[in-house]
């Protein structure tokens, strides 16, 4: 598997001939985006790869369409050219595109292409904020992707979520090679100490539940609404604090990294 961190939650994954893009965000920095009910965030870092440099995309995994730090204007322009876009059921209704499928947590679908192994994609639960926040924060999902015939999850993208019981349950049932871990501890001045994504302390609890082989932190930089510094996250996810057999790979933005998958 090859992974390239474009920036924020956006990662290009090359797996068994498939080219998979997560949460496309390609707008330049400097703009402030509204997130609803008076919350907002400014993009502080641009993408390390331009949209026209991405190349063909077979599958887009879109955790949610309604926040610009997960789908912005330039990212939205890539959706029609992708083979398939998987997202939430409300997101699919809003996008209204023939190549888009909506999934609920626990639902699965299969992506097929000539000359490549099928991909099994399972939607995993997310809660993008504290209890009872879903009517405000909206519906979000993660994605567990497996190659046909393998009992292991090749890559699990958590999506924007806090650590909560359904996520822990899902983690215990996944045998994960590569975990794309959305971090950042999102906060807004308007809502004070409330968090809308995991910090690294919560992430450590998730790793204890699923024990992935490789952890790739993403979505912790480039926006003003992230409240946890990268240095703090690196400290909490240091090797001596991880489950046995788990390593963390901090990607250099814009540079492809090869990650080995374990055999079946």
Residue 84, domain CATH? 3.60.15.10
Q: Quick check: 141 and 106 in contact, CB under 8 A? A: no
Roughly how many angstroms between the first and final C-alpha of the chain, as a whole number?
15
pTM: 0.97
Structure letter (DSSP) for residue 260:
P
Judge whether 264 lies within some domain: no
pLDDT of residue 67: 98
Instruction: Tell me the residue ranges of DSSP E strands in 116-187.
Output: 119-125, 141-147, 153-157, 176-182
pLDDT of residue 37: 85
Residue 108 CA to residue 148 CA, distance in Å, equals 13
Judge whether 207 lies within some domain: yes
Q: Quick check: 39 and 188 in contact, CB under 8 A? A: yes
pLDDT of residue 261: 78
Q: Quick check: 141 and 105 in contact, CB under 8 A? A: yes
Residue 184 CA to residue 165 CA, distance in Å, equals 20
pLDDT of residue 263: 54
Distance of CA 42 to the CA centre of its chain: 19
Task: Return the closest-CA partner of residue 216 out of 229, 207, 205.
Answer: 207
The number of folded domains in the chain is 1
Residue 22 CA to residue 62 CA, distance in Å, equals 6
Q: Quick check: 196 and 227 in contact, CB under 8 A? A: no
Task: Return the closest-CA partner of residue 54 out of 84, 95, 25.
Answer: 25
Judge whether 263 lies within some domain: no
pLDDT of residue 136: 86
Judge whether 79 lies within some domain: yes
Give the burial string for 179-217 (b: 16+ CB within 10 Å, else e).
Answer: bbbbbbbbbbeebeeebbbbbbebbbebbebbbbbbbbb
The parent domain of residue 98 ranges over 2-258
* Residue 217: partners with Cβ closer than 8 Å, 6 or more residues away: 181, 183, 203, 233, 237, 248, 250
pLDDT of residue 207: 96
Rg (CA), the chain: 17
pLDDT, tens digit only, all 264 positions of the chain? 999 999 999 999 999 999 999 999 999 999 999 998 889 999 999 999 999 999 999 999 999 999 999 999 999 999 999 999 999 999 999 999 999 999 999 999 999 999 999 999 999 999 999 998 988 899 999 999 999 999 999 999 999 999 999 999 999 999 999 999 999 999 999 999 999 999 999 999 999 999 999 999 999 999 999 999 999 999 999 988 899 999 999 999 999 999 987 755
Judge whether 145 lies within some domain: yes
| Residues paired with residue 258 on neighbouring β-strands, in sequence order | 2
Q: Quick one: residue 252, left, alpha or beta (phi over 0 = left, psi -120 to 50 = alpha)?
A: beta
């Amino acid at each position: 598997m090859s992974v390239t961190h474009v920036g924020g939650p956006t990662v290009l994954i090359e797996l068994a001939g498939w080219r998979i893009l997560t949460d496309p965000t390609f707008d330049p920095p400097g703009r402030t985006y509204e997130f609803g009910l008076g919350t907002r965030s400014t993009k502080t870092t641009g993408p390390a790869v331009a949209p026209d440099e991405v190349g063909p995309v077979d599958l887009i995994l879109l955790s949610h369409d309604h926040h610009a730090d997960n789908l912005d204007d330039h990212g939205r322009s890539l959706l029609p050219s992708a083979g398939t876009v998987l997202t939430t059921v409300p997101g699919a209704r809003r996008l209204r595109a023939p190549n888009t499928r909506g999934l609920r947590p626990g639902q699965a679908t299969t992506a097929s292409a000539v000359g490549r192994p099928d991909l099994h994609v399972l939607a995993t639960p997310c809660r993008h904020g504290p209890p009872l926040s879903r009517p405000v924060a909206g519906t979000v999902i993660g994605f567990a992707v497996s190659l046909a015939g393998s009992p292991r999850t090749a890559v699990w993208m958590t999506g924007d979520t806090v650590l909560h019981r359904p996520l822990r349950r899902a983690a215990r049932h996944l045998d994960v090679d590569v975990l794309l871990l959305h971090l950042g501890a999102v906060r807004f001045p308007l809502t004070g100490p409330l968090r809308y994504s995991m910090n690294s302390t919560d992430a450590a609890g998730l790793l204890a539940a699923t024990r992935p082989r490789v952890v790739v932190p993403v979505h912790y930089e480039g926006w003003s609404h992230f409240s946890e510094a990268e240095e703090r996250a690196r400290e909490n996810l240091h090797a001596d604090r991880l489950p046995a057999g788990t390593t963390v790979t901090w990607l250099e933005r814009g540079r492809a990294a090869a990650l080995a998958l374990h055999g079946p």
